[in-house]
Amino acid sequence: MPRIPIDAWRPKGIEDLEENAWRALRAQENIAVVAGPGAGKTEFLAQRAAFLLETGLCPDPRLILAISFKRDAATNLADRVERRCRPDLARRFVSMTFDAFAKSLLDRFVAALPVPWRPILPYKVVFASARDISGFIQQATQAAPRGEWQGEIAAIPTGQFESHGLGSLPLHDGLLEPTNGRQWAILRWWRESLEVPGGSRLTFVMINRLAELLLRTNPQILRALRATYSHVFLDEFQDTTHAQYALLRTAFGGDTVLTAVGDDKQRIMTWAGARPDAFARFQGDFGAERIALLCNYRSSPDLVRIQHVVARAIEPEAAAAVSMAPRSVDGDVAQIWHFNREATEAERISAWIAQDRALTRLGARDYCILVRQRADKVEALLERAFAAQGLALRNESAVIGRTTLQDLLAEDLTEMALAILRLATAERAPAAWTTVAEAITLLRAVDRQNEAACRRVECERDAFLTTLRARLAAEVPNGETAGQVMQEVIAFLDPAALARSVPRYTTGETLEIAGEALSLHFAASAEGAADWSAALDRCEGIEQIPLLTIHKSKGLEYHTVFFLGLDDSQWWSHTAANPEGLATFFVALSRAKQRVFFTYCAARGTRRKVDDLYTLLRQAGVQETAP
């Protein structure tokens, strides 16, 4: 296949790029791309991948590795590259999460770890709860060999032990001799976790640290890794933790070309262990040039202007973004709504949305209810009023069985099972056909060359679909039938085959948890649904207004955003001008494409702590009204 000359390369699927994006796209050195909300970070990375592959700057057989924090971000990026590139090139783009990257290194080369750090196999991935850690700190305090260390250990903040303690202590070839109480406690944690008869218990922070040690002590593995990947992309770089940063330095501190993308103004994960200086250090440690993307393809000019007031409060030097999205609504694009009673608040929001929908024909998913925390409380508060207006809410973080709604909807199992049910209810569902065909090929492990085998599998599939179609046609949707039907669909897909063919389902209880939750959720969706197709719509959240926390909304966008509860009780941890609080507010504000409304309800509490946020809105010219 011919390579495209660098100067002749054009972007795929979009018109053009802004000037700085072109410069960043063509860079052959490490770069730090600072991209505010709506700048098209993911699109930029997808275009850069296409550029590097199609021009041969990433030469065959070398690969591009893209590292994201969340699974959905990793999948999303891989999908975009697939849509932009020939299959043989897209195959050389590897997109995974940080944790999956660290774990894959550990799993492949565990035997190369220095003996004192080698886990007992099979090790188990565990998630240390705050309770586990505070319990550990308590007993470590008791057991500390020196009096002066005891106070030091007792003073370790529970929330920082894993990220700042375990995450930032480098491991060494041999056993380490602790020089202070903190180190003693961290090493004790390591020994207790590694020396579990029957299998070590490792958290992802530990897996990151072990992967880093592995590369540092095995130059030949490090060389092989660097030979594999010519370029590495790092998404949401502002959220990099201590352990991840250390792994990056060891793994790619050589001649790999790194592209880090992110926005310090959207750094809202430091409380969960993100290091506050990742971007700044990256520029120093990796000699990366800083390139700022200035366009905002999401929000209208009026919203971008309001966002800029908040952006400057976070970073006084912040450059103003240029809105590329025309305004499409009349009236104020931002308002503060003041209520006395929660019932009035719920009623006015729902009535407003119902009326707006009637006028504009926007879909339910063009609106969004954002909260700082405790989405279930807000769901209970709004549900009745919304139902009275014929609106449905979808609490994305609702707990279903042992998982949550949004995790369940991201499961491969869910995608496959719902596609089968779509085929059994809808007249035409081309996307569902593709999904089902691919799923069956994967799960039945049919050789495409073997025509007889293919036909047999197709017959089996059609027979199942015919029976299912007849069954659904004969029954009115209800919870009990829906639960049973889902179990049958899962049985048809075959849990054993899923465990064999989907890496995610190979170990642990993930498949079982997803199966359970899917049956529960489909049952709940079918209860009171007009027909089976409506039950499936409900299951997928079509025509439901999303309700989610700011943290979950990162990276998403909505035409009209309601931020519910700009008050001290939702913002209990906020203090004036603290960067993380301002960043959280900035993320909420910048989800909106056209309109954003903040609500305050006196019955919920005061607004002293959040006074600085109101001041910023006032400075930006946002009016307060009592609708």
Partner DNA sequence: CTACCGACGGTTTTT
Partner DNA sequence: CCGTCGGTAG
In 98-169, at which residue ranges do the beta strands (DSSP E only) sit? 124-125
Residues 129 and 38: their CA atoms lie apart, in Å, by 34
Which segment (14-22, 92-100, 314-322, 522-530) binds DNA by CB under 7 A?
Answer: 92-100
Contacts (CB under 7 A) with DNA, residues 139-158? 158
Write the binding mask 60 to 79 for DNA: x where contact by CB under 7 A, - elsewhere: ---------xxxx-------
For the chain, the farthest-separated pair of C-alpha atoms sits apart, in whole angstroms, at 76
Residues contacting 277, CB < 8 A, separation 6+: none
Question: For residue 219, what are its two tokens?
Answer: 């130059």
CA distances from 388 to 247, 341, 441 (A): 53, 18, 46
Does 240 participate in binding DNA (rule CB under 7 A)? no
Please say which residue, 514 or 622, places its beta carbon nearer to DNA.
Answer: 514
Under rule CB under 7 A, residue 99 binds DNA: yes
Q: What is the rounded CA–CA span in Å between residue 582 and residue 495?
A: 46
Minimum gap (Å) between residue 128 Cβ and DNA: 9
Burial of 440 (0-12, 13-18, 19+ CB in 10 A): buried
100 binds DNA, rule: CB under 7 A: yes
- Angle formed at CA 204 by CA 200 and CA 208, multiple of 5 degrees: 100
- Secondary structure of residue 14 in the 3-state scheme: coil
- Rounded to 5 degrees, what are φ and ψ at 4? -90, 130
**Residue placing its CB nearer to DNA in the complex, 322 or 556:** 556
Interaction of residue 272 with DNA, rule CB under 7 A: yes
Of the residues 110, 125, 309, 343, which one makes contact with DNA according to CB under 7 A? 125
Q: Is there binding between residue 112 and DNA (CB under 7 A)? A: no
Give per-residue burial for 68-92: e unless 16+ CB within 10 Å, then b.
Answer: bbbeebbebbbebbbebbeeebbeb
Decide: is 569 part of the binding site for DNA (CB under 7 A).
yes
We find the least distance from the C-beta atom of residue 524 to DNA, in angstroms, to be 21
Nearer to DNA, 72 or 543 (CB): 72
Binding mask 399-438 for DNA (x = CB under 7 A): -------xx-------------------------------
Nearer to DNA, 31 or 583 (CB): 583
Residues 359-388 that bind DNA (CB under 7 A): 372-375
Cβ-based nearer residue to DNA, 72 or 79: 72
Shortest Å distance, C-beta 314 to DNA: 16
201 lines the binding site for DNA (CB under 7 A):
no
Told to check if 568 binds DNA by CB under 7 A, we report: yes
Closest CA to 117 of 202, 50, 53, 174: 174
Residues present in the chain in total: 627
Q: Which of 525, 529, 528, 585 is nearest to 553 (CA)?
A: 585
Number of residues near DNA (by CB under 7 A): 42
> Between residue 577 and residue 606, which ones bind DNA under the rule CB under 7 A?
584, 604-606
Residues that bind DNA (CB under 7 A): 69-72, 97, 99-100, 103, 125, 127, 130-131, 134, 158, 204, 269, 271-272, 372-375, 397, 406-407, 503-504, 507-508, 510, 549, 551-552, 568-569, 572-573, 584, 604-606, 609
